[in-house]
Structure 1
Amino acid sequence: MSERLKALADAGVSIWLDDLSRERIETGNLAELVAEKSVVGVTTNPTIFAGAISNGERYDEQVRALVADGADVDKVIFELTTDDVRKACDILAPVAQRTADDGRVSIEVEPTLANDTDATIASAKALWAAVDRPNALIKIPATVEGLPAITAVIAEGISVNVTLIFSTERYQAVMDAYLAGLEQAQANGVDLTTIRSVASFFVSRVDTEIDARLEKIGSDAALALQGKAAVANARLAYTAFQDVVASERWQALAAVGAHVQRPLWASTGVKNPAYPDTLYVTDLVVADTVNTMPEKTMDAFADHGELAGDQVTGRADDAQALFDQLTAVGIDLDDVFTVLETEGVDKFKASWIELLETVKGQMS
């Protein structure tokens, strides 16, 4: 057992692995990570699946069988990925049984549907039915079109991982969509205790975008702010989360068994080698959160990560002051978040194309 990762978990941070492959499942690696590295959840995306499918032969037999049955590439992808998620859900089932909100495995709706509400709802329903495990989470992007889809599927009792959140303003809309879904679910007679959700707030990409703009400005005042925006942004998001949890609207839902939608720190692998490789873990320690990490980041924390207690609660004023400084030196934060969301959707779509091409190659 990694003592540092255990201490992180004891601090209230749920450690989820940002990776999945059939090899991890069949060799026992995923079960080992659960047992030895305090992993209590898994997140996936099309890029992760493309890498898994292209880097091994464990999918070949299933691909051949599906092709023989006349399956097209979309059907093959659907079957391969939902099989992996179903098996991972089974491995994580004991965690789900002994914890309130962990033991979850996420699978993403087709990214090309990010701006189509109805198609996103249909995709989410199909994935939920195919995986057919109560500890699955369906990933839906927090686009303007994604928000009503979140409400609609929550209302039907489907658990959701809301992904691609960059700004506190959009995060507040995501939390509202979740509460609205719970209220509709209650009206529909759905047992609220069965629904889970996390809100994936992206971290490192914020620094990458803002650092580049600060570099272009080039003043001493601007350069002194590099590497600080992402953590400040997440701290403001957590304050918004606390405000919702304290609201009468949430308390009414909690009273009938609703589970809180926890903030999930996503994109926590450090992009800039000049920064500590555990930056987005160490500086975002706070209870009732999830940190989904690539294994490289997890191993770095297990090796030399440091804990200094809660690094988030009560730091909203400092975070806002940092944002005020960014504005003062010429950073247009609204534009930053618009660019990040647009690029995020584009990257998701590109990763889907990568997955399509990978699977087509396996089918030939």
Structure 2
Amino acid sequence: MTEALKRLSEEGVAIWLDDLSRRLITSGDLGELLDQSYVVGVTTNPAIFQKAISAGEGYERQVAELAVRGVSVEEALRMITTADVRDACDVLHPVFEVTGGRDGRVSIEVDPRVAHDAEATAAEAKQLAWLVDRPNTLIKIPATRGGLPAITETVAQGISVNVTLIFSLERYREVMDAYLTGLEQADAKGLDISRIHSVASFFVSRVDTEIDKRLDALGTEEATALRGKAALANARLAYQAYEQVTASDRWRALLAKGANAQRPLWASTGVKDPAYPDTLYVTELVAPGTVNTMPGATLEATADHGEITGNTVSADGEEGYARARAELDALARVGISYDEVVQLLEDEGLEKFETAWNELLASTKAELDRLSPKKG
């Protein structure tokens, strides 16, 4: 049942789980995934925490203690989420040690409401790193234009980063530049840059969802022929951009000082359209030096019937990248603006995280009020 996951790992793809809850940790299920399913990392986001904490299992005692202390809702929420991430980091620490810090990572995101404020985002990143207090934490920073300087500042402080919500190729190149600049600044401060790690979370399925919707609205034969191609083409061109950066003199200078490459991470890999194979964004995005973070259902589907046939991203070299470019260029010919779509997806993605965070604040407040000692 795990042969496909084994093969995927052997092809150089790090398998991370896109999920976390207290029950997953305390039940031993997370440890079992590490032992049996080749999982070597965990990612979280506000929506994942909203789902986990709203379910309530395992959180009541901590919430009751926080209520007795009379802490604010925001402080309570951070104490709850960082506790889960800290415990998950401890579970994954053996992987972190074995891989020299490359994997065994657990991500936690800055407050999405400050995503457009570089100074506030960098301050939040520093605070989260201090709260979790584990070397295998990755601080997630959304790749908004305002977030780019925060990426540089956070990396320059020696904090490892997961840059999230990347949809466009242009923004991805800006993210890679922000990371390299942060490494250069950290090196200038005398920090050991070999201890800094990063991934860049390039979102996949949502691209197909939005573009397919527009293609369906057009309804032409030419438009229909383009369904289900944009997300993979976009991701493959992102990998090409990664190859170009890691072949540059600028990168080689940092590599000589011990720097770690910022690995492309395929995010949003759960298939939304039932017409597509449920392992589409795993089997078609196999490339060395990448991470694929999967929700539980996608991980199980890959283990059950995923067919790993080798490198499906860069094996064809420039010819394959030319095909991917042609597939994206074809969208413009039918009247679909790539730039408009990726900006919309970034805006919507951040809005969804903000909504989940606000819902989480509201439900946490309700629990604090319910468990608060009666007054008078």
TM-score tier after normalising by the smaller chain length: over 0.9
Distance, in Å, in 1 between the alignment partners of 2:338 and 2:51 is 34
**2:54–2:360 Cα contact (<8 Å) kept:** no
Q: How many residues align?
A: 364
Residues of 1 paired with 2:365 and 2:273: CA distance?
34
Aligned partner (choices 337, 340, 350) of residue 335 of structure 1: 340
Given residue 287 of structure 1, which amino acid in structure 2 is its aligned partner? P
CA distance in 2, matches of 1:34, 1:287: 20
Cα offset, 1:312, TM superposition: 0.5
Runs of 4+ in 1 over 3 A off after TM superposition: none
Quick check: 1:353 aligned with 2:354?
no
Question: Residue type of the partner of 1:29?
Answer: D
Within-5 A mapping of 1:1-364: 2-100=2-100, 101-313=102-314, 314=317, 315-363=320-368, 364=370
Instruction: Give how far 1:344 is off.
Output: 1.1
How far apart are 1:329 and its partner, in Å?
Answer: 1.2
Deviates more, 1:350-359 or 1:204-213: 350-359
Alignment deviations for residues 164-211 of structure 1 (CA, whole Å, 9 cap, x no partner)? 000111000000000000000000111001101000000000001110
C-alpha displacement at 1:358, in angstroms? 2.2
Q: Is the 8 A contact 1:164 1:202 kept in 2?
A: yes
Alpha-carbon offset, residue 354 of structure 1: 1.8
The Cα shift of 1:54 comes to: 2.0
- For 2:373, the equivalent position in structure 1 comes to none
Q: What code does the residue aligned with 1:228 have?
A: K
Structure 2, unmatched stretches of 5+, are 371-376
SS in 1 for 2:270: coil
Which amino acid is 1:58 matched to? G
The answer to whether the 8 Å contact 2:215/2:223 transfers is yes
Contact 1:47/1:354 (CA < 8 Å) preserved in 2? no
CA–CA separation in structure 2 for the residues paired with 1:317 and 1:277 = 26
Q: Secondary structure at the match of 1:40?
A: strand
How far is 1:126 from its partner? 0.5
TM-score by structure 1 length?
A: 0.99
Q: Distance in 2 between matches of 1:56 and 1:29?
A: 17
What is the deviation of 1:151? Answer: 0.1
Instruction: From the superposition, tell whether residues 57 and 321 of structure 1 become closer, same or farther in structure 2 (CA, over 3 Å).
Output: closer
Give 2:327's aligned amino acid: L
Measure how far apart 1:56 and its partner are.
3.3
- Whichever residue aligns with residue 284 of structure 1, its letter is L
Tell me if structure 1 keeps the 8 A contact 2:18–2:296: yes
Q: What are the Cα deviations for residues 42-75 of structure 1, in whole angstroms up to 9, with x where unaligned? A: 0001111121112233111111111111111101
**What CA deviation, in whole Å up to 9, does each residue of 1:116-170 have, x standing for no partner?**
1111011101000011111100000000000000000100000000000001110
8 Å Cα contact 2:22-2:57 kept in structure 1: no
Query: Which residue type is aligned with residue 80 of structure 2?
Result: L
CA distance in structure 1 between the aligned counterparts of 2:363 and 2:139, rounded to whole angstroms: 23
CA–CA distance in 2 between the matches of 1:356 and 1:151? 29
1:239 aligned partner, one-letter code: Q
**Quick one: distance in 1 between partners of 2:190 and 2:31?**
36
> TM-score, normalised on structure 2?
0.96
CA distance, structure 2, for counterparts of residue 12 and residue 358 of structure 1: 40
Question: Retained in 2: the 8 A contact 1:210–1:229?
Answer: yes
Give 1:346 shift.
0.8
CA–CA distance in structure 2, aligned partners of residues 317 and 80 of structure 1: 47
In the other structure, the counterpart of 2:374 is none
Amino acid at match of 1:35: D
How far the C-alpha of 1:362 sits from its partner, in A, is 2.0
**Cα separation, 2, equivalents of 1:14 and 1:113:** 30
The whole-number CA distance in structure 1 between the counterparts of 2:48 and 2:338 is: 30
Q: CA deviation at 1:2?
A: 1.5
Structure 1 residue 103, shift from structure 2 partner: 0.4
- 1:33 and 1:39 in contact (8 A); partners too: yes
Counterpart of 2:352, as a letter, is: K
Spell out, residue by residue over 1:293-338, the C-alpha distance to the aligned partner (whole angstroms, 9 max, x if none): 0000000000000011101102211100101111111111111111
Counterparts of 1:233 and 1:116 in 2: how far apart (Å)? 28
In the TM superposition, what whole-angstrom CA distance separates every residue of 1:8-35 from its partner, at most 9, and x where no partner exists? Answer: 1111110000000111111111000000
In structure 1, the gaps of 5 or more residues are: none
Q: For residues 363 and 304 of structure 2, what CA distance do their matches in structure 1 show?
A: 34
Q: Is the contact between residue 269 and residue 277 of structure 1 (CA under 8 Å) also seen in structure 2?
A: yes
Q: Quick one: percent identity of the two aligned structures?
A: 60
